Structure 1
Amino acid sequence: MKQDFCFLDVDEDEEDAQAVQPSSKESKKQSLTSTEEIVSGSVKGPMNLFITKKKTKGGKLRQTSINDACDKELRDRTVQKIARFMYQAAISFNAAHLDSFKEMIEAIGQYGPNLKPPSYHELRVPLLQKEIVYTNELLKENKDECEKYGCSIMSDGWTDRKQRTLINFLVNSPKGTMFLESVDASAHVKTRTLLYELLDRFVERVGEKNVVQVISDNGSNYVLAEDIGKIEVVRKTISRAIALVGFIYNHGSVLHMMRECTENKELARHGVTRFATTFLTFHAFFLE
């Protein structure tokens, strides 16, 4: 077969360049091969970070884009600054579980760049006043529940590192529990009269008609301050309840009948810790 050849005059440099450069098909083939080798992991290079395989939710593999890597780097830098602020301000790690913490981060992200942070004066005066109004609006539903269904005054005493006796006062209603105040009661806990005055103040604050019961520590000073068991009508009711429980458990036939009718329900028997068992005894008589 006859072949026609066409000879062109080229410089020696151009000949060398053409000799080392592959054809377009070969170049494309080599480029695809190199990419496949990098993706498969057989070849590692500086771009390997941006085209590594990553599984999607459906289980399929996709290439990690440059944007993904940049987003990860930006997030790492941002959350590190958030963490540093919490460390320097000695904020408890439990703050990360608060809804308000997550809402704050979301609000900052929605605002975008160039957000001017609140000043010392704003945090101390106007923003604080707005938060007080907002908190009172949240507590209004609890107060309405107290007036409608009644509530319990709860006091929780504890001692801090300075050996001060602090008492947290809370109000519990069907709507939930709300904090009233924390009081330094170091001068009150030793005297039942002063402790009674402190409890009475919070009962008046909530409203006597709304308070169903007062729940506190079982220390002797608290018992003396709010020993409602000495009220005649309450004393008689407690005595009858204790006598009834004793009668039931001292007569086998009556006990068997009670268990059969109440699906093996047991009654709380009066014990040494009367502050708790008296309430449990009454509660056991209540059949839903």
Structure 2
Amino acid sequence: MASGSQSRRTSTGQHPSSVWWEEAILGDQTNCCSGHRRWSCKWCSLRDKVSGVDRVRGHLTREAGHEILSCDVISAEKRQQLREMVKTIDDQGIRDSFDPERKEAMDMAIGRFFWNEHIPFVKARSHHFKEMVQQIARHGIPYDLPTETALREQLLQVEKTNLEVQLAKVKARWKNCGVTLVADAWNDTRNRHIMGLVAYSRGQSTFLEAIDISSSGKTADNVFATWERGIEIVGEENVVLIVTDGEASNKAAARLLEARKPKIMWAPCLAHCLNNILKDFAKLPWMVGLLDKGKTLVGFLRNHSYLVAILASFSSRLSRM
């Protein structure tokens, strides 16, 4: 019986998906990443596109999810023929995926990568991981893996360009929807005081910049200057609200904001406020003794493995209910 890899190939020895390259005009292949080619559409004005074979397929068949403009010149009859070819190729892939021995070998290869590289198992839920596996499956065999240099340089630059395109679409909505500017400070591993700026609008958060304020200190003027940097990036006409924690320097900077930019409001972070309220509760005389007893009980339980095992067994039962 033919193996799974042989069944995925045509009589010419090529993977079925490679037939899509025959529907395009191939150009100069220099500086193209592994699996990518420079191509132009045979029908419309799309020229010198560098991508994988799936973009050719999406361009000609108008399939969603390929992030490329559809060809509007190709005839309806030709497009229907290509869609039938899609179904044939996909059906072939589905039949081959039912080979249990081949699937077990692939699963074990993925498992060894996770185990030997100490990758957390939860990363198997990542949509990036799933997308990577699907794209490799669609490409077929042979597939030349990207080199370390390609991952560090060419591919990273391509992804940067893609993110800039996506970010431009997000920024275009800021004018109509408004933006909440979120500012937070923390100390990094080198003990530098960093102020991070994030723009939030309609459920989407966009990182703007991280500013080192170690040398200048977290004074009201310096904090306000950091906010102004974020306002400059987003556009003053788009900023509606600034959210920070309730530290004294932020409150002082908020007064400067009210005086200099009265159209922009400031609000303290609700989670930070609740955290401070609970800390104040813990200082009440009647609460101090209660907390000490609770900490003692928790310490006792954690120091006795038998009790921890009993607690774990009941927790597992509750999770199944």
Q: How high is the TM-score relative to the length of structure 2?
A: 0.46
Change (3 A) 1:195 1:174: same
Aligned-residue offset at 1:232: 10
Query: Which residue of the partner structure matches residue 106 of structure 2?
Result: 75
- Counterpart amino acid of residue 78 in structure 1: A
Distance 2:122 2:195 in 1: 23
Change (3 A) 1:115 1:232: closer
The reply to whether residue 183 of structure 1 matches residue 214 of structure 2 is no
Query: Which residue of the partner structure matches residue 152 of structure 1?
Result: 180
The reply to whether residue 174 of structure 1 matches residue 169 of structure 2 is no
Query: Which residue of the partner structure matches residue 132 of structure 1?
Result: 160
Change (3 A) 1:174 1:121: same
> Any conservation in 2 of the 1:96–1:102 contact (CA below 8 Å)?
yes
SS in 2 for 1:197: helix
SS in 2 for 1:163: coil
Aligned-residue offset at 1:184: 3.2
The percent identity for this pair of structures is: 26
Distance 2:261 2:231 in 1: 21
Query: Which residue of the partner structure matches residue 246 of structure 2?
Result: 218
Change (3 A) 1:72 1:227: same
Change (3 A) 1:104 1:275: closer
Distance 2:112 2:231 in 1: 46
Structure 2 spans left out of the alignment, 5+ residues? 1-97, 271-321
| Within-5 A mapping of 1:45-84 | 68=100, 70-71=101-102, 73-84=104-115
Aligned-residue offset at 1:101: 1.4
* Counterpart selection for 2:151 from 118, 123, 128: 123
- Per-residue CA shift, 1:163-199, capped at 9, x if unaligned? 3333321111125211222333333443222222111
Distance 2:169 2:234 in 1: 14
Query: Which residue of the partner structure matches residue 207 of structure 1?
Result: 235
Change (3 A) 1:233 1:95: closer
Change (3 A) 1:191 1:142: same
Change (3 A) 1:127 1:154: same
Change (3 A) 1:128 1:192: same
> Any conservation in 2 of the 1:142–1:175 contact (CA below 8 Å)?
no
| Within-5 A mapping of 1:103-122 | 103-122=131-150
Report the number of matched residues. Answer: 171
Structure 1 spans left out of the alignment, 5+ residues? 1-65, 239-273, 278-288
SS in 1 for 2:214: coil
Distance 2:99 2:229 in 1: 62
Query: Which residue of the partner structure matches residue 221 of structure 2?
Result: 193
Aligned-residue offset at 1:233: 11
Distance 1:77 1:233 in 2: 59
> Any conservation in 1 of the 2:224–2:257 contact (CA below 8 Å)?
no
Distance 1:105 1:232 in 2: 52
Deviates further, 155-164 or 129-138: 155-164
- Counterpart amino acid of residue 117 in structure 1: L
Change (3 A) 1:158 1:93: farther
Aligned-residue offset at 1:109: 2.2
| Within-5 A mapping of 1:24-35 | none
> Any conservation in 1 of the 2:245–2:269 contact (CA below 8 Å)?
no
